[in-house]
């Protein structure tokens, strides 16, 4: 018996394909450097001696790195307490945002066509409303409730999935699942909650990862909300600590940039930890 010819033949090497691949990698390196070099410069300046002005030329590594600048942050302000407060808010806000955001997106994907269009229009309108327009109404509401010096106003956005954008992300993901799949589950006795947990959520792993990163950045970098509602120093977050440090000595750039590096480090580490899953095709397909 003759063996059947393979249907997929290996691609032949060509100058055009090699040139396109080379240009892609060069562009990727240039774009990566545009984002990485400012971070490197920030860490470099944070290692200069305190009291020095910003360097007139780019110095990637000081002659005498002052690693004790990072220790001085914890001596000047209770940065450890601020770090734990930010970590607590983020640890509560991210999973709750994923929970409520996925619920809202799943509900939007299951309603009728007419109701779905109205909900989509309402969600887009919410995205267009500037945040500043809600500050006064929200502050008055939480002040009447007596919650102006607590974490409740900071965690209130989880009821909207942290942002209407996350709700839309989940909706677009769940809409790709055939409705017949949910109908079959419903005929087998599955409730909407079981369908969400066993059918919709396992097929939304890439969306869960992306939404988790966006929610983490939303809560970790939030500055205006803690500034408006928090009055006690024991409740302050890292963003408030960074503002306090800058107000104490605006010209002490090494300490200010050391605090900025401390704020930037956790999101950067988390992104580096999960980037392989974004690029892993087998993980994205759920296998």
The 3-state secondary structure of 87-152 reads HHHHHHHHHHHHHHHHHHHHHHHHCCHHHHHHHHHHHHHHHHCCHHHHHHHHHHHHHHCCCCCCCH
pLDDT of residue 281: 44
Last residue of a domain, one of 37, 70, 103: 70
pLDDT of residue 22: 78
One domain for residues 66 and 84: no
pTM of structure: 0.83
Which value, to the nearest 10 degrees, does the dihedral of the CA atoms of residues 55, 59, 61, 66 take?
0
pLDDT of residue 197: 93
One domain for residues 35 and 128: no
pLDDT of residue 283: 45
Q: Is 7 contained in some domain?
A: no
Q: Is 4 contained in some domain?
A: no
For residue 126, the enclosing domain spans 78-284
Q: Is 268 contained in some domain?
A: yes
Do the Cβ atoms of 109 and 174 come closer than 8 Å?
yes
One domain for residues 229 and 93: yes
Select from 70, 61, 69 the least CA-distant residue to 40. 61
Give per-10-residue mean pLDDT for the chain (287 aa). Answer: 52 65 80 84 87 74 85 91 95 95 93 91 90 90 92 91 90 92 90 93 89 92 93 93 86 88 89 70 45
pLDDT of residue 92: 95
Select from 236, 257, 235, 262 the least CA-distant residue to 246. 257
One domain for residues 177 and 255: yes
One domain for residues 26 and 95: no
Cα 207 to Cα 195: distance, rounded to the nearest angstrom: 17
């Amino acid at each position: 018996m003759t063996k059947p010819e393979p249907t997929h033949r290996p691609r032949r090497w060509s100058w055009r394909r090699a040139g396109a691949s080379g240009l892609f990698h060069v562009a990727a390196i240039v774009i990566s450097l545009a984002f990485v070099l400012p971070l490197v410069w920030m860490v470099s300046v944070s290692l200069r001696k305190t009291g020095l002005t910003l360097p007139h030329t780019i110095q990637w590594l000081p002659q005498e790195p002052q690693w004790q600048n990072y220790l001085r942050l914890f001596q000047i302000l209770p940065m450890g307490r601020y770090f734990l407060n930010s970590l607590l808010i983020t640890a509560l806000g991210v999973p709750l945002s994923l929970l409520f955001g996925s619920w809202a997106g799943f509900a939007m994907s299951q309603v009728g066509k007419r109701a779905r269009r109205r909900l989509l229009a309402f969600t887009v309108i919410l995205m267009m409303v500037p945040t500043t327009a809600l500050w006064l109404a929200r502050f008055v509401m939480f002040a009447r409730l007596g919650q102006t010096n607590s974490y409740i106003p900071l965690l209130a956005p989880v009821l909207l999935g942290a942002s209407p954008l996350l709700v839309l992300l989940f909706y677009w993901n769940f809409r790709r699942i055939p409705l017949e799949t949910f109908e079959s589950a419903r005929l087998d006795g599955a409730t909407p909650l079981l369908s969400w947990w066993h059918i919709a959520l396992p097929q939304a792993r890439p969306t869960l990862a992306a939404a988790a990163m966006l929610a983490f950045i939303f809560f970790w970098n939030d500055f205006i909300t803690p500034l408006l509602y928090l009055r006690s120093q024991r409740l302050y977050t890292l963003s408030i600590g960074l503002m306090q440090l800058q107000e104490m000595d605006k010209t002490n750039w090494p300490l200010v940039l050391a605090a900025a590096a401390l704020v930037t480090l956790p999101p950067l580490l988390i992104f580096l930890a999960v980037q392989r899953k974004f690029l892993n095709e087998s993980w994205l397909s759920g296998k």
